[in-house]
Chain A
Amino acid sequence: QKEVEQDPGPLSVPEGAIVSLNCTYSNSAFQYFMWYRQYSRKGPELLMYTYSSGNKEDGRFTAQVDKSSKYISLFIRDSQPSDSATYLCATLPGGTSYGKLTFGQGTILTVHP
């Protein structure tokens, strides 16, 4: 079993929809949680960064972490065709001195006009 599990999709939604992307993890030591966006033939770019449990909002994006259930979510409001990409969740243990990221397998999202 992988340490971070993510439904690969693909997920197809109409423009303007609310998108929910999710990951589960198994290692209780994970304390930092990230969401990356990866366009085709590009490297991942950081979207959201959360420490421990709670919510974080940035524009149309909201990241949620529930450590009790080991569940990570990313919500995209008013989705746009430009949001079409692969979304990767990633985690880090607490107290780490460097960023040895553990990624989920990524969810492919298509937002159609």
Chain B
Amino acid sequence: GAGVSQTPSNKVTEKGKYVELRCDPISGHTALYWYRQSLGQGPEFLIYFQGTGAADDSGLPNDRFFAVRPEGSVSTLKIQRTERGDSAVYLCASSPGTSGGSDTQYFGPGTRLTVL
């Protein structure tokens, strides 16, 4: 069956540009998460959606980062005025949303963002 997909797989941009990263969760999963994984580090939580609403955005590093999930399925992570420090792999995960924190999260392959 189809897992979580993310596009693009790689994105190279210049400092100061705007980027959008897309996540297609597993069909029927109501919970969606974004994480950021820097080189040699574990993933760090960015934001959690339950349905269409961002229930916890405490991990977003600053106001240049924003995410939406308008119809409760696909989500887009948006980064304005990119900086070299934003270079990382951005991971999306989804879960059924039926068992709270104990739900298994299924991760996508990530988008590798490089800011030159």
The listed residue (B42, B50, B104, B108) touching A88 by CB distance below 8 A is B42
B61 in contact (CB, < 8 A): no
Inter-chain contacts of A43 with B (CB < 8 A): 4, 91, 93, 107-110
Per the bound structure, the CA–CA distance linking A49 and B106 in Å amounts to 13
Which of A12-20, A54-62, A92-100 sits within the interface? A92-100
B41 in contact (CB, < 8 A): yes
B20 in contact (CB, < 8 A): no
B66 in contact (CB, < 8 A): no
The listed residue (A6, A44, A46, A97) touching B101 by CB distance below 8 A is A97
Decide: A99 and B107 in contact? CB cutoff 8 A: no
Contact status of A49 and B104, CB under 8 A, knowing A6-B42, A43-B110, A99-B31: yes
B43 in contact (CB, < 8 A): yes
Inter-chain contacts of A44 with B (CB < 8 A): 43, 91, 107
Within 8 A of B (CB), among A71-113: 88, 90, 92-93, 95-106
Q: Give the shortest distance, in Å, between A92 (CB) and chain B (any CB).
A: 5
B14 in contact (CB, < 8 A): no
Q: Give the shortest distance, in Å, between B47 (CB) and chain A (any CB).
A: 10
Q: How many residues of B contact A (CB 8 A)?
A: 30
Decide: B100 and A105 in contact? CB cutoff 8 A: no
Inter-chain contacts of A102 with B (CB < 8 A): 45
Q: Give the shortest distance, in Å, between B51 (CB) and chain A (any CB).
A: 12
17 further interface pairs, Cβ-Cβ under 8 Å (given A98-B31, A98-B103, A106-B42): A4-B42, A8-B40, A41-B112, A42-B110, A43-B91, A96-B100, A97-B100, A98-B48, A98-B101, A99-B105, A100-B33, A100-B45, A100-B56, A101-B43, A103-B42, A104-B42, A105-B42
B: residues with CB less than 8 A from A are: 4, 31, 33, 35, 40-45, 48, 50, 55-56, 59, 91, 93, 95, 100-110, 112
What would 13 A/B residue contacts be, using CB atoms closer than 8 Å?
A32-B101, A41-B110, A46-B105, A49-B102, A92-B102, A96-B100, A98-B31, A99-B31, A99-B105, A100-B33, A101-B33, A101-B35, A105-B40
